[in-house]
Amino acid sequence: MKICCKRAREETAAVAPVDSGGAPPPRDGFPLPDTIVLSEILVRLELESLCTLACVCRTLRSMVSQSLSTLPSLDFSAFSPNGELVRFIAPQLRAVKSVTIDCLQVNDRSIVSILGPRLQELNLLKCPSLSYHVLPSIGEKCPNLRILSLELAGKSAPDIFRKNLVKMLQNLLYLEYLSIKVRGTESDAYGLAGVDLFLPKTLKSLKMQPVNEQDAAQFIEKLGEDRESWRKMVNSSMSITSYEGFNGFTLTCLSLVLDIICDRLLDSITSSLPLLVELDLEDRQCTEPKFLHDLTNNGLQYLGSCRYLTHLSIIRSRVNYPASFKRINDLGILVLAESCQGLESVKLGGFSKVTDAGFSSLVHSCYNLKKLEIHNAPLLSDLAFHDVIGAVTPLVELKLVSCSLITSEAIVELASSSTLEVLDTYSCRSIADPCLDYISHLSKLTSLNLGGADITDNGLAVLSKGDLPLTNLSLRGCTRVTDKGIIWLLNDGIRIKKKLSSLDIGHMPGISDRAINAVISCTDALTELRMRSCFHVTNESFHILASGKSGGSNLLRKLDISHCVGFSEELLQGQGHLFRGLRWLGVAGTCLAKSVEFAVSCRMRPWLTVCFEGCEVGCHDGWQFHI
């Protein structure tokens, strides 16, 4: 089982948490500025700073408590708080209406302590330790919720989950947004039978995963019905006058992760939910689908009846083996493009039989298209984007992932758009240096992913000559890039080194301490650095990163050094005071992962999450195993 650093942490005994450097214990007589001025300052501080100040003296503690009582929202998504911190904060949040918590280290008791009728938004993310029994408490204590998002770990008890889900929904009469994700379970982890009877009629957005396709189709069909039986099951104390004359649910956003996407499902969705604006479907197959029970061209035609559809995503994920929609070809995409010309965002994955003709029709027919994302399309080539500029509204976001036939020529064609802000060509291995000169002229580009591209140091030198406002850059797996390319990029790219906040240089064998030193010394705003599997990085880089003595490393919040085998055990000496400000650290496959001394030092850092098991930054890809 995967474990996070919380096993190595112990509940702190202080009344308020402090960082490893710590604040001195509370003491009286501490000289303070004018209280009015100080109050204005406290209102503008982050939660971490407030908690640290509370440890200085009784006067500051009182003022911090008063400041907390006026906070309109609480956001614990940047790190994983422990249960004591949540319980300490909860009684003082008398005005908060929105709560977001990364729940890797909290249990039912801590979550219940923060619930109350004042809450209108509740987001509980990554909850490996929460039980299904917390669901009724949410319904009872937060009857005024408008937004609810839950990410739960599967407990292999679908009946118990459904029972508690119904109890929760019975009390949430004003809910407008509901997202429930159960991770680490089979596709039929829970059924939906009877749940539709208790969904509030105010619901506009519904996101659920995982769901069995047959259950989902029946569930959606019932949502479109006007049933007198629903009213009879409503508590007699509730007013039902608002439902008079109502003809079904008015969902405008639906997102499902299923075992399979098929024609019947599309038919049910389009006939029952004609007001859809956003539709997001993904299937994760465990076995090869039956030929007659799959999505076909006919199924895509049903989408034409959704006149308000602006955002469409249909993905067949590659989980255990390469999977694709084998019964959809160019004809299906052509009909889709013609009947849904109002689409503004399109995301397609696993359409292995669709060629340039099909994909090109989307680009040319959808006159409002601003975001286009295509995954695993082996027949998509540069020809699909020939003469694309001027044919549609200029693209803002373009992602072509694992499309083997895409080369630099397509990017050259698309780079003539002055509106492009996001460009992602991850795992398009034919992308090379020639297109980087064109990319360097994209004056609005803020996010660039060239992961796996065949670019070199010379290409990065060319890229640095542009005036790119990049905040996110990924070069992961660009094996021909060395220290020299990174140094050229950051030394010459004046705007890049000022704006760059997230950098991924993982899986690059040509990267050593020289490149890391350049990253640390040249960047002014870097908060996230991924450098996993950089084998030639040594203790020198680790010490500079940890001490925060140069450049943007003072701002570093997330760092992934997993599988950097060049680190030696000598770096463990006297590291307890280092990495001030860090919120997430990945150390899998390094000497730190086996060190008892390092694990002990983690106990002193309640604001820091250390992952020992190789998750991507933030533990978004395996949190359900963090128990």
Q: Is 126 left (phi over 0), alpha (psi -120 to 50) or beta?
A: left
Q: Strands 98-102, 528-530: parallel, antiparallel or unpaired by DSSP?
A: unpaired
Q: How confident is the model at residue 336 (pLDDT cuts 50, 70, 90)?
A: very high
Kindly state the average pLDDT of the residues 103-113.
92
Largest CA distance in the chain: 79
Kindly state the average pLDDT of the residues 291-318.
92
Kindly state the average pLDDT of the residues 497-526.
93
Residue 569 to residue 471: CA distance in whole angstroms: 34
pLDDT at 329 over 90: yes
Question: Are the C-beta atoms of 221 and 268 separated by less than 8 Å?
Answer: yes
Question: Are the C-beta atoms of 415 and 440 separated by less than 8 Å?
Answer: no
Residue 141 is predicted with a pLDDT of 96
Residue type, 445: L
What SS3 class is residue 206? strand
Other CB atoms within a 10 A radius of the CB of residue 341 amount to: 14
Residue type, 32: L
Kindly state the average pLDDT of the residues 56-71.
75
Residue 46 to residue 602: CA distance in whole angstroms: 22
Kindly state the average pLDDT of the residues 354-367.
93
pLDDT at 107 over 70: yes
Residue 549 is predicted with a pLDDT of 53
Residue type, 227: R
pLDDT tens-digit profile of 115-163? 999 999 999 999 988 999 999 999 999 999 999 999 998 776 778 888 8
pLDDT at 537 over 50: yes
Query: What is the distance, to the nearest Å, from the Cα of residue 84 to the centroid of all Cα atoms in its chain?
Result: 26
Other CB atoms within a 10 A radius of the CB of residue 212 amount to: 19
Residue 196 is predicted with a pLDDT of 67
Residue 581 to residue 416: CA distance in whole angstroms: 40
Q: What percent of the chain has pLDDT over 70?
A: 80
DSSP bridge pairs for 251: none
pLDDT tens-digit profile of 396-446? 999 999 999 999 999 888 877 778 999 999 999 999 999 999 999 999 999
pLDDT at 195 over 60: yes
pLDDT at 547 over 60: yes
Task: State the SS3 of 384-400.
Answer: HHCCCECCECCCCEEEE
Residue-level length of the chain: 627
How high is the mean pLDDT of the chain? 83
Question: Are the C-beta atoms of 353 and 329 separated by less than 8 Å?
Answer: yes
The kind and range of the H/E element at 152 are: strand 147-153
pTM above 0.75, yes or no: yes
End-to-end CA separation in angstroms for the chain: 8
Task: State the SS3 of 241-298.
Answer: HHHCCCCCCCCCEEEEEECCCCHHHHHHHHHHCCCCCEEEEEECCCCCCCCCCCCCHH
